[in-house]
Amino acid sequence: MKGGETLRLEDGRLLGYAVYGDPEGWPIFYFHGFPGSRLEAQLADRVAARMGIRLIALDRPGFGLSDFKPRRTIFEWPDDVVKIADALGINRFATIGVSGGGPYAAACALKIPQRLTAVAIVCGLGPLDTPNGTDRMIRTNHLIFFLGRRLPWLAKISLWRIAYQVRRNPEGTLRRMIVALPDPDKAVLARPEVKTAMKDNVVEAFRGGSRGAACELLLYTRPWGFLLQDIATRVNLWHGEQDVSVPPTMGQYQARTIPNCRAIFYPGEGHFSLVINHMEEVLSGLLE
């Protein structure tokens, strides 16, 4: 099941997922970044197994094994999570949203609190109107979000081009991505097992083309359909202060805005390094 399974939902769509860690352990649903797929969670497989955690990584619509869903919203995502939890016989569970998965974890915190035992947002993307939110953002990310807000047709073309480059030369695409990252991120991405997992993840993200990524980009750049200040559930938040993919100002804004938020910021960590170096700590926080 580590490669992936699919579940057919009531509306006929297939939803892809993979299970990592302990198959009999405590269930935690993992929401991948952007662009990403269920394979992103493979790097947490060993630590989850050691901690007795059943880590269930889902493909959002249009990514990996999941069918595209036109006109979807971020706030609809908890409905899909509940459907797969019910299908797997899981009543209560925790969620973790990493990077672009952060808004989806926040949506679950607000919409399905009765099903949740804990929520984590890790280097999570915040609203793009966050004050100074994109000031330190890496140029490529800043540009794609700018296009999503101002020139969505051009953003779609840009993502099509990225998908083409990923399929044609995934190693080269990753090398270009790493150049502008801070040293902590470069260090972890130099590890062979991390590099391989990242390559597998980004290739799988575009399995069905760029349509899913283009749809999701537009969702990020528009109102999410809910307000962070309305979340009553406790949220654990982790963010690296050297993050240039999702700048720490976004994490700070979420920490101030979510009423019951426990936030930890790491001075020596970037975007990727935080997830890889502190995953055991993050998962431990979800078991408290």
Phi-psi map region of 39: left, alpha, beta (phi>0 left; psi -120 to 50 alpha): alpha
What confidence tens digit (pLDDT) does each residue in 126-141 have?
A: 999 888 888 889 999 9
The chain-wide mean pLDDT, for the chain, equals: 96
Question: Residue 76 contacts by C-beta under 8 Å, 6 or more apart in sequence?
Answer: none
Q: Which of 218, 240, 203 is nearest to 42 (CA)?
A: 203
What confidence tens digit (pLDDT) does each residue in 138-178 have?
A: 999 999 999 999 999 999 999 999 999 999 999 998 888 89
What are the residue ranges of helices labelled H in the chain? 45-50, 77-87, 102-111, 139-150, 152-168, 170-178, 183-189, 192-205, 211-221, 248-257, 272-277, 279-287
pLDDT (mean) for 11-26:
97
Question: Residue 133 contacts by C-beta under 8 Å, 6 or more apart in sequence?
Answer: 126, 127, 247, 249, 250, 253
pLDDT of residue 1 exceeding 60, the answer is no
Instruction: Determine the pLDDT at residue 59.
Output: 99
The CATH architecture assigned to 5-287 reads 3-Layer(aba) Sandwich (3.40)
Whether 59 contacts 53, CB under 8 Å: no
Helix (H, G, I), strand (E, B) or coil at 50: helix
Instruction: Determine the pLDDT at residue 166.
Output: 94
pLDDT of residue 123 exceeding 80, the answer is yes
Q: How many residues does the chain have?
A: 288
Instruction: Please tell me the distance from the alpha carbon of residue 102 to that of residue 95, in angstroms, as a whole number.
Output: 10
> In what order do the strands lie in the sheet containing 26-31?
5-8, 14-21, 53-58, 26-31, 93-98, 116-122, 235-240, 261-266
What confidence tens digit (pLDDT) does each residue in 219-234 have?
A: 999 999 999 999 999 9
Instruction: Determine the pLDDT at residue 2.
Output: 67
Domain chopping of the chain, boundaries? 5-287
Model's pTM, two decimal places? Answer: 0.97
Instruction: Please tell me the distance from the alpha carbon of residue 236 to that of residue 243, in angstroms, as a whole number.
Output: 18
